[in-house]
Structure 1
Amino acid sequence: MTNDESVFTRRTVVAAGAGTVVAAAALTACATYGKENTAPAPNPAPAGNPAAPGQTAGNALAKTADIPVGGGVIVGDTVVTQPTAGTFVGLSATCTHAGCTVASVSNGTINCPCHGSKYKLDGSVSNGPATRALAAKTVRVVGDSVVPG
């Protein structure tokens, strides 16, 4: 082989491909530098529904009217329950048994579809295989909404 010949091995081809990806990512980042963000503001507060100081209506987990007494709703990674009228509880939606996401709130329990664990509306275990309660999340009522915090 002469000095002018190039030898392509699997390693040099893979390394060259990775370099191309890194260069493309850098060019993409540079192409947007300094440009104004034209995306709309997330979840603007609806007219006629003022938020409390320090809160925007857009960060509400749910409306209080949508959470039945003796039931609850799952919003993203949070479960919000209303065990008794006017008492709202925030819980993690991650099952403590195997890390699955709970799927429903029905018949007075929060239910995990993976292995059948059930939790009471306060997050304590009703039926295993889970042995630990769902983690608490702080929620509060602002106007007619339940918000994080």
Structure 2
Amino acid sequence: MLISRRVAVAGAGALATVVTLGGGVESCSGSSPSSGGGSHSSGGAAGTHELAKTSDIAVGGATIFPEWSVVVTQPTSGQFNAYSARCTHEGCLLNSVAAGTINCPCHGSRFTIADGSVAHGPARRPLNPVTITVRGESIILG
């Protein structure tokens, strides 16, 4: 079956729209959380994307970068860690930070800022570490 050029172009445009919109949609589909590697580094391999300045991450706090599915924590001054921002229970995108925990909106799991361990289930596994590089004042993914 042959399709017209108009139908092919319209279909490609619709697909591009779905792919573009899909990046910002939260999912509780149970997709496997991404695994990153080590927890953090303060030098080494060149990174691919600057996530933030070190001053952007509060001491004792964390910042979620939903576009990269990464959360960066600073449990103590100058110590930066990064984790997948996908809940290890069912893969939902973590969406808030409060009272020392990083929180999942889907089923209530909470993870500690200090080390990504489970503070409250139903999740049973800690957040997956993601490699970051701290270079000067920049926190770089990778």
The TM-score, its normalising length taken from structure 1, stands at 0.63
Contact residue 108 and residue 122 of structure 2 kept, 8 A: yes
Contact residue 88 and residue 140 of structure 1 kept, 8 A: no
Cα separation, 2, equivalents of 1:106 and 1:82: 14
Contact residue 140 and residue 148 of structure 1 kept, 8 A: yes
The TM-score, its normalising length taken from structure 2, stands at 0.66
CA distance 1:99–1:55, shift in 2 (3 Å): closer
Q: Displacement, 1:106?
A: 1.5
Aligned with residue 96 of structure 1, among 88, 92, 105: 88
Which 5+ residue runs of structure 1 have no aligned equivalent?
1-14, 29-52
- Counterpart in 1 of 2:116? 123
CA offset digits 1:45-97 (Å, max 9, x no partner): xxxxxxxx9567xx211111110111110012100000111110010010011
Name the Cα RMSD after superposition.
2.5
Structure 1 stretches of 4+ with a deviation exceeding 6 A read: none
Q: Determine which structure has more spread, i.e. the larger CA radius of gyration.
A: 1
AA of the residue aligned to 2:73: T
Q: Give the paired residue count.
A: 106
Residue correspondence of structure 1 range 16-55 to structure 2 within 5 A: 19-20=3-4, 24-25=8-9, 54=46
Aligned with residue 84 of structure 1, among 50, 60, 76: 76
Determine what percentage of the aligned residue pairs are the same residue: 50
- Counterpart in 1 of 2:30? none
Contact residue 60 and residue 148 of structure 1 kept, 8 A: yes
Point out the structure with the larger helix share. Answer: 1
Q: Displacement, 1:105?
A: 1.4
